[in-house]
């Protein structure tokens, strides 16, 4: 896919501190849900998606989910640093604060290594370590999907290809994914096609509220960050998985207006990508 061009970008940027913080917060189970429906990520496993992409403020050390599913910080991520008193939502891989600070913008993939392992079920996973201010009282409520889970969601579950399509939600471009037993609400239409790019589907605020309640998630096309350089906002979305590959790379679920895929080969850990968390259905 054309995302391979990431590897050939040349940029001169300042390197920021990647301080570690190994204080693990307590468990919590208070969760605010806005997205209806469950999503199969394996033959015997379902999840609920968080109500928005993950965001962080370095000065206040506060994590939160975006207020709306279609929200993204976009070019504001260029200000990433330990002293930036604003929100960011494009993170290097595994930057939960346990081993690597969320505001780390180093271009050295080695700074994000987790001993050559994935971040499944350990504190490098954002959802396993952090406390999210508007969604829970502690850690270990949320987690990051693995590459195999993304693959099952997009290709393996029943009628998977009928449950995914690009869209404009409140004029924001991105990708809509429907829950397992989704029923299209009155006054709404869903076309499972990439033929017309992001204009394949379009929802205003009222329509999207119905779609969301019925079990639709939306991944905004938030672009990517390389150091303090931000690009492809409104053109493509890149979402970290918890799955490490090799040589300082990990798998990313990515899409543009005409296709979606798991990145092959995977992407260097130093790139800043979006994070969308899930919680398991017990």
The better pLDDT of the pair 29, 94 is held by 94
Q: What average pLDDT score do residues 33-43 get? A: 86
pLDDT at 261: 75
Does residue 33 carry a pLDDT above 70? no
Torsion of the alpha carbons at 217, 53, 27 and 47, rounded to the nearest 10: 20
Mean pLDDT across 171-189:
97
Task: Report phi then psi at 192, rounded to 5.
Answer: -80, 70
Asked if pLDDT for residue 6 goes beyond 60, the answer is no
Whether 224 has a pLDDT exceeding 50, the answer reads: yes
Asked if 224 and 235 count as a contact pair (C-beta separation under 8 A), the reply is no
What is the rounded (10 degree) CA torsion for 23, 242, 190, 165? Answer: 130
> Does residue 22 have a pLDDT over 50?
no
Short-list 197, 55, 178, CA closest to 126:
55
pLDDT (0 to 100) of residue 57: 98
Q: What is the pLDDT of residue 277?
A: 96
Q: For the chain, how many residues are written?
A: 282
How confident is the model over 225-237, as a mean pLDDT?
97
Measured CA to CA, the distance from residue 54 to residue 92 in angstroms comes to 13
Considering the chain, what is the average pLDDT of its residues? 88
Burial class (CB in 10 A: 0-12, 13-18, 19+), 206: exposed
What pLDDT does 18 receive? 73
According to the model, what pLDDT value does residue 67 have? 94
The pTM score is 0.89
């Amino acid at each position: 896919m054309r995302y391979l061009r990431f590897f050939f970008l040349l940029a001169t940027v300042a390197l920021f501190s990647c301080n570690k913080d190994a204080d693990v917060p307590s468990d919590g189970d208070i969760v605010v849900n806005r997205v209806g429906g469950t999503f199969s990520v394996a033959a015997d496993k379902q999840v609920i998606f968080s109500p928005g992409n993950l965001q962080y403020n370095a000065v206040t050390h506060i994590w939160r989910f975006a207020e709306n599913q279609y929200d993204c910080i976009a070019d504001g991520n260029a200000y990433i640093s330990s002293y930036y008193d604003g929100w960011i939502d494009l993170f290097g891989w595994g930057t939960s604060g346990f081993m690597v600070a969320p505001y780390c913008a180093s271009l050295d993939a080695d700074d994000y290594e987790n001993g050559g392992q994935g971040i499944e079920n350990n504190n490098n996973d954002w959802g396993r370590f952090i406390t999210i201010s508007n969604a829970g009282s502690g850690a270990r409520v949320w987690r990051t999907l693995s590459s195999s889970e993304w693959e099952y969601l997009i290709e393996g579950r029943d009628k998977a290809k009928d449950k995914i399509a690009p869209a404009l939600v409140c004029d924001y471009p991105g990708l809509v994914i429907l829950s397992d037993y989704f029923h299209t609400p009155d006054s709404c239409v869903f076309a499972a096609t990439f033929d017309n790019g992001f204009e394949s589907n379009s929802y205003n605020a009222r329509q999207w509220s119905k779609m969301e309640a019925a079990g639709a998630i939306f991944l905004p096309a938030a672009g990517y960050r390389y150091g303090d350089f931000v690009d492809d906002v409104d053109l493509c979305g890149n979402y970290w998985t918890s799955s490490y590959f090799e040589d300082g790379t990990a798998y990313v679920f990515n899409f543009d207006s005409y296709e979606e895929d798991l990145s092959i080969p995977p992407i260097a850990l130093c790139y800043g990508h979006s994070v969308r968390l899930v919680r398991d259905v017990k």
